[in-house]
A and B are shown apart, each in its own frame.
Chain A
């Protein structure tokens, strides 16, 4: 998926990839991260 110029909501997983890490990846691909957080699904 091409993220350049897109708005992104990043929801990370405590036992997987945390929100800030996804945010950094999305930003480096040119996306605007409008919300990022790490959540717990258990």
Chain B
């Protein structure tokens, strides 16, 4: 039986100070051009927490606004505010930076994170009042003196954690010489871990599952944790599960750049379908390196720094319950090594071929979910509207296959696509942001089928010039059904053997 998507959670973390201190665009600018105009004005372009919560795109990501509603909202979106915007949504939340530092501290099991005393006391109150963080409040400790934190940062053995530009804590290096355990890398990895934990805590509630029932965790972000002898040894999966309290789970990390989550969800699905496990959690935290990645262009165009949030998500894949949407593991499309790199070859391999195999038309898929980047982030930097570009390529191939008129391309894009509403956090936009809304609509009977399309820029690691693509369908559950292959009785087996022998005997007689 096909596995099901039992639940989904999406989280954002507003991290304006981490944009300045941890985003690679900004850290490189400080290293190479410390007097730059960009660095002088960047602080004036940082959004407040209230603005980030009220941003319609962020409200869509956490589930408070439907993508259709966002599409109807005239752009630019960044100067529009959702009235009475809520920090929490049906899929997750938008966490403020101070609480995130507390979460980072809670995730530190090697005594590397120091938070200032009074800051820690304030955080304790906030944690104890939060449904999600209450269980972690005792991990905050009592806090450290600011003087000690200052000293660690000034001596270069720790990376500062700032709030409104004021030092409130630090992350110490975990080794004197190993750059993989430097303060910068440890901060980056603890941020992945902490935002992954947040997504995991949310899905426990959203999917209504006991923590003890999760058997396996697959983490699929883009960072690498390890040391100088095994740079990407891992693993975030078990580290996240430990803090989230998933005591009966083990797990591993899966990587594939932006296609990572699509691969991870497929692996989770096959583990369920093959009955190895009953409940598999796919989870990913956010990338501090990508904060403010296109900041120069945003500032140049008088916009706020749009990449001021970390993103995360969690997907719970479980045994077929006859209710939740199924992952069609027989619908996998893949961009194989020899497939060729032209846009036509790619869409042919990952969209057209699986549809043809299942006798489906391009228009039989309600929505396609390629990378779902917010176009308001990418367009000012010249990267265009990524989801729309992908929808157009899919539509163009449908025209070439004679399934669509050329004049219907724009209509196809509107009908079978969603506007991008995911942060440009690398792996986060990779198809999976659609699962929350798609699952809901399928449960209500308003949608039948979506296709997740993951694409990964493997060439960035300079090991191959190839990129990657993988896809599959998620469908409305048709109800509990029997797996006939598993319900064959002994009598049926005897009958089949008898028929085969009879057939064999008739061949002998013919000869």
Chain A interfacial positions (CB closer than 8 Å to B): 13-18, 20-21, 37-42
Contacts and interface: CB of A to CB of B under 8 A. Distances in A.
Given A18-B343, A42-B373, A42-B378, A37 B459 contact: yes
B342 interface: yes
B343 A17 contact: yes
Contacts of B258: 40, 42
Given A15-B371, A15-B386, A40 B460 contact: yes
B221 to A, nearest CB: 15
A42 B390 contact: no
A20 B346 CA distance: 14
Contact of B341 (A38, A40, A41, A42): A38
Contacts of A41: 378, 381-383
Interface of B: 257-258, 341-343, 370-371, 373, 378, 381-384, 386, 389-390, 424, 426, 429, 455, 457, 459-460, 465, 467
A14 B370 CA distance: 12
Nearest to A21: B342
A38 B466 CA distance: 9
Contacts of A39: 457, 459
A5 B101 CA distance: 57
13 contacts: A13-B383, A15-B370, A21-B342, A38-B465, A38-B467, A39-B457, A40-B459, A40-B460, A40-B467, A42-B373, A42-B378, A42-B383, A42-B426
B467 A16 contact: no
A21 B341 contact: yes
A13 to B, nearest CB: 7
A36 B370 CA distance: 25
Contacts, number: 51
A3 B465 CA distance: 26
A1 B290 CA distance: 36
A40 B341 CA distance: 14
Contacts of B465: 37-38
B384 A16 contact: yes
Contact of A16 (B371, B389, B459): B389
Dominant SS at the A interface?
Answer: loop
A21 to B, nearest CB: 5
Given A40-B460, A42-B386, A18 B341 contact: yes
Contacts of B424: 42
Contact of A38 (B381, B429, B459): B459
A5 to B, nearest CB: 26
A18 B342 contact: yes
Nearest to A38: B459
A38 B465 CA distance: 8
B110 to A, nearest CB: 33
A37 B383 CA distance: 16
A16 B455 CA distance: 12
Given A37-B465, A40-B459, 18 more contacts: A14-B457, A14-B467, A15-B370, A15-B383, A15-B384, A15-B386, A18-B343, A20-B341, A21-B343, A38-B459, A38-B467, A39-B459, A40-B257, A40-B460, A40-B467, A41-B381, A41-B382, A42-B258
B343 A16 contact: yes
Q: 8 smallest A-B Cβ distances: which pairs?
A: A40-B457, A41-B383, A18-B341, A15-B386, A15-B389, A14-B457, A42-B373, A42-B424
Contacts of A21: 341-343
Contacts of A37: 459, 465
Contacts of B467: 14, 38, 40
Nearest to B386: A15
Nearest to A18: B341
B341 A15 contact: no
B390 A15 contact: yes
